[in-house]
A = this chain, B = another copy of it.
Amino acid sequence: MLTTRQNEILQFIRRHQAEQGVTPTVAEIQKEFSFSSPATVSDHLQALERKGSIRRQAGTARNIRLADFSRSADLINVPLLGVIAAGFPTATAAEARPEESLPLDAALFGLARTGRAFALRVRGDSMVGAGIHDGDLVILQGGGSPVPGDIVAALIDGETTLKRYVMRRGKPVLQAENPQYPELIPVEELMIQGIFRGLIRTARP
């Protein structure tokens, strides 16, 4: 479908976008291929557009758009905010100091693009019954109301912990999922920081 030359140019555009974050200008393509004239590039771009590989917006700079770019349009950068205790509550949690961020597929994790999503690394094993292990990254959606049964990051008495949110006799309680921990934590003042949306575990080398 594409000629050899057209394919070379398309590959360069892809590479440029992946590395620089933006598509190249006509002049940059011209330089890469050592063309003497920008018109040569223009010709190729016309061909690529006709064949549907790229789109262009008339009258703007750096106006090349890859036709299949929308594939990764649903990505959001989820900040990794620190460590959360799945065990006894600890104060060393949920700081607002983004060390790092994870590019995640918002649709896969059911994350609202508008709401604040964040990730925390789990320390402790109080949630092993729910398959959440020490070292896992939990993905949480901030700013919402949990449904009983949800796993939540909760702030109780100034300390944050990961527990299951359930109702007992009309009152919300936080429940661990490990027989070695107290099953129920009575809650006086409860602030939900985030609702569990998923987790990521990576094999340790």
Contact = CB atoms under 8 A, between A and B. Distances in A.
Contacts of A62: 22, 61-62
Q: Which of A23, A66, A131, A205 has the most C-beta atoms of chain B within 10 angstroms of its own C-beta?
A: A131
A131 to B, nearest CB: 5
Given A75-B103, A102-B105, A198-B202, A66 B21 contact: yes
Interface stretch (A11-19, A42-50, A165-173): A11-19
Q: Which of A25, A102, A203 has the most C-beta atoms of chain B within 10 angstroms of its own C-beta?
A: A203
Interface in A107-154: 108-110, 128, 131-133, 136, 150-151
Given A61-B61, A131-B201, A200-B198, A19 B102 contact: no
Contacts of A109: 202-203
A189 to B, nearest CB: 25
Q: How many copies does the complex hold?
A: 2
A77 interface: yes
A131 B133 CA distance: 7
Interface string A176-205: 000000000000000000011111111101
Contact of A110 (B23, B77, B132, B203): B203
Contact of A72 (B68, B103, B131): B103
Interface of A: 14, 17-23, 25, 60-62, 65-66, 68-69, 71-73, 75-77, 100-103, 105, 108-110, 128, 131-133, 136, 150-151, 195-203, 205
Given A21-B66, A108-B202, A196-B203, 8 more contacts: A18-B73, A21-B22, A22-B22, A61-B62, A103-B103, A108-B200, A110-B205, A151-B203
